Structure 1
Amino acid sequence: SSSDLKGAGLPAAAAAKPQPFKSQPDPQGSASTGGGQDICQFAFNFYKEASSQRNNKNVIFSPISVSTAFAMLSLAAKSETLQEIFSVLHFKPNEIQQGEIHEGFHQLMQSQNRQNASFQLDMGNVLFVKDQLKLQQQFLNDLKNFYSGEAFPENFKNVRPAQQKINNYIEKKTHGKIINLLNNLDPTTEILLLSYVYLKAMWNKTFNPKYTKEDDFFVDGNTVVKVPMMFRMGMCKRAYDAQLSSTVVQMDYKEESIKAYFILPDEGQMRKLENGLSCESLTKWRKLLSESSTNLYLPRFSVNGRFDLKQILYSLGIRKVFTNEADLSGITGQPGHEISEVS
């Protein structure tokens, strides 16, 4: 027998198998391995905070990208500034050396940044720094060696050309997908931290365009919109999570290490699903998933939006770095430099 699955306000997540840090592969594919667990915990904390601040609007972000950016920034952080970053990223300095953390992210970025005929992922971070600041050579070396990161001097007082230069950089790195990232650059900026990720991947089992029809999509309990609804019939991995009153579907990409999970809550259960999402949920789903014949309906959609990462991260506990009490003395050798904006 087969059953119908039709998207209605469904959240989605993509996951990759490679785990950073000195961890052994988990035979069950668990999310609770080494540094992968830390990033997973950060991801769900970030999602819940972002979701609460956006008042039921779409939320899209890359937890690996954000966590990598602040792990990179921790190269320069000292004292309480460093402690706050590690705490929010769920790293415990008494259990893992700082060098191991940075080497773990280095391995993660190396494993993910690759390209072939069916898959391309470009992920990176960049600092634009007030041109009057002299950067420490050790910081620049670590930035390049661990994170393939770049740091550029910039005259932020010349707002328009500085903004254009930064926007052009991000547009190029994201293959034209992110344009005009900045539109209100503060001329008093000292350090601007930018994180970007570009993903282009092909489904292992594609949707035939001839079966795409206009259909209803339930944004919430009161809002219905017409969308181009894709359709695919056949075997797929799915499970029902009774605890979260939701159906989970795993969709594979041609790149075997990359999976996408679409979670469809029962009617009226979206808030219950969002509140209950956790790393343990991912582990449980992977154990519950089994192949069955399914009529799968998935809306063809495009999502974009802007986050105030500063506000979200401040709420999570990264605070000093955004104030004049920040200690980022590893950048210039002098304390007192703060992050003005994170995008």
Structure 2
Amino acid sequence: MWAVLSLPLACLLAQAWLVPGSTLASHSPEAQAGLETLLTPTAQNKTSQTSERQWAPEEEEEREEDSPWLLAEGQQLSREASNLGFSLLRKISLKHDGNVVFSPLGLAWAMAALTLGARGHSRAQLEDLLLQAWNQTWPVVNQTRPPRLPALFKQLQESLSHNPELGLAQGSFAFIHKDFDIRETFLNLSKRYFDMECVTVDFHNTSQAKRLINHYMNQETQGKLPKLFDEINPDTKLILVDYILFKGKWLIPFDPALTEMDTFYLDKYKVVKVPMMYRSGKFASTFDKKFRCHVLKLPYRGNASMLVVLMERIGDHLTLEDYLTTDLVDTWLRNMKTRKMEVFFPKFKLDQKYKMHELLKQMGVRKIFLPWADLSDLMVTERNLKVSKVLQRATIEVDEEGTEAMAGTLLEITAYYMPPIIRVNRPFLFIIYEETSRTVLFLGRVVDPTLL
């Protein structure tokens, strides 16, 4: 156990990566989505008298063995994480109208991991963020047993990992300063629910710590993320890295020999030239009469798909984002018909970073960012902890082989006959999801496929 030298302040960073390449090796991904939490001293010395929570292992085993709720609530968890993504997309759109890509599941995973170190209202706000539909029935604080969220995410991760063709992997690291007295309970539970690996680091030697962490992450991503950190604060006490990885291959690839440069309309007046892929075959699709958009389904191997949402008129995609929900997506999927058609789809690569802490505050998660945040389950000695920021970086690359990363009649959604040719040659939205759980893995928009 390490000795505490100072009061910590938490800072979180999440990253998501999707890249093309060969088959994913076990725990050696080629695509990266990560969360990192940097703990550094606060300026205040306010102590908390909250009693330590005790969790008996036998109680944990009993809870998970008697767990039909995992199956029932796991499906709802996927919907909540997906709706969180749609809400974040709307927040991003208020300040950013360009290319977008991020992982709702990656951010949700990060927040769930943080609940293991939080108590009281700090933990309750994290749970409310992830389980908005359950606010009235979800327990605010449970001081005798582990939070249910980590168990739900573990069940979801196991369900997704049982499909090797999906090309999805997840991993977690805790880089701990040699003098940081972290709780054994947090270490044990993070290992149990998130399979977190712990590495001791001397953060006072910033250059050595930076090289060590970058070396670990470079290995994990097989060189796709050689430099995670440019700088490290010498007062850092803990860095948590949680990554989710997806490398999907199209069920029926596009033929590279048929890819040609073509026009992509940025708006009514500006165009760019992009490599446009082509494939003729049977595609599932529908048309939403209310929103005037085509919805095209491009399946991956391993029971996952990309939904491409293409508006009839250039520029209307921003309006549609205000109405995106899992219920709307479900309605699109129910109304899809499979037909023979020709599809032109652009190759693109995006690389985006967002200050998620600003968005999370707007969505009601505020306690963890305050000096009196209750993250006392991270340390043996009671100290002030707060989250200073949450960032997410996401990269997606789509080529010929694949991707490497209100219900009811009022909506007037019908599966009418689409034109035999559909050209995705103007701004569009995309949703990458796993079919069985309907979990949204990555979400975004392409406004200019020539820009990162």
Give the TM-score normalised by the residue count of structure 1: 0.83
Which aligned pairs between 1:106-185 and structure 2 lie closer than 5 A?
Answer: 106-113=154-161, 116=164, 118-185=165-232
Q: Is residue 73 from structure 1 mapped to residue 118 from structure 2 by the alignment?
A: no
1-structure distance, mates of 2:79, 2:295: 20
Partner of 1:10: none
2-structure distance, mates of 1:203, 1:247: 20
Match of 1:326 among 351, 369, 373: 373
Contact 1:192 1:342 in 2 (8 A): no
CA positional deviation for 1:209: 0.7
SS of corresponding position for 1:126: strand
Which aligned pairs between 1:166-315 and structure 2 lie closer than 5 A?
Answer: 166-256=213-303, 258-267=304-313, 268-315=315-362
Partner of 2:57: none
CA positional deviation for 1:341: 4.7
2-structure distance, mates of 1:317, 1:167: 33
CA positional deviation for 1:206: 0.9
SS of corresponding position for 2:99: coil
Q: Which has the larger radius of gyration?
A: 2
Query: 1:198-223 deviations in whole A, cap 9, x for unaligned?
Result: 21121111101111000112234444
SS of corresponding position for 1:177: coil
Contact 1:37 1:279 in 2 (8 A): yes
Q: Which residue identity lines up with residue 204 of structure 1 in the other structure? A: L
SS of corresponding position for 1:303: strand
Partner of 2:427: none
SS of corresponding position for 1:312: helix
Which aligned pairs between 1:39-50 and structure 2 lie closer than 5 A?
Answer: 39-50=81-92
Partner of 2:78: 36
Give the TM-score normalised by the residue count of structure 2: 0.64
Contact 2:287 2:294 in 1 (8 A): yes
CA positional deviation for 1:340: 4.4
Shift in alpha-carbon separation, 1:59–1:320, aligned structure 2, 3 A:
same
Q: Is residue 84 from structure 1 mapped to residue 125 from structure 2 by the alignment?
A: yes
2-structure distance, mates of 1:179, 1:52: 32
Shift in alpha-carbon separation, 1:260–1:247, aligned structure 2, 3 A:
same
Shift in alpha-carbon separation, 1:224–1:209, aligned structure 2, 3 A:
same
Shift in alpha-carbon separation, 1:160–1:218, aligned structure 2, 3 A:
farther
1-structure distance, mates of 2:189, 2:376: 14
Partner of 1:102: 150
Structure 1 gaps of 5+ residues are 1-19, 26-31
Query: 1:161-204 deviations in whole A, cap 9, x for unaligned?
Result: 22232233333333333332322333333443433222112111
Q: Which residue identity lines up with residue 160 of structure 2 in the other structure? A: Q
Structure 2 gaps of 5+ residues are 1-67, 140-145, 392-452
CA positional deviation for 1:96: 4.2
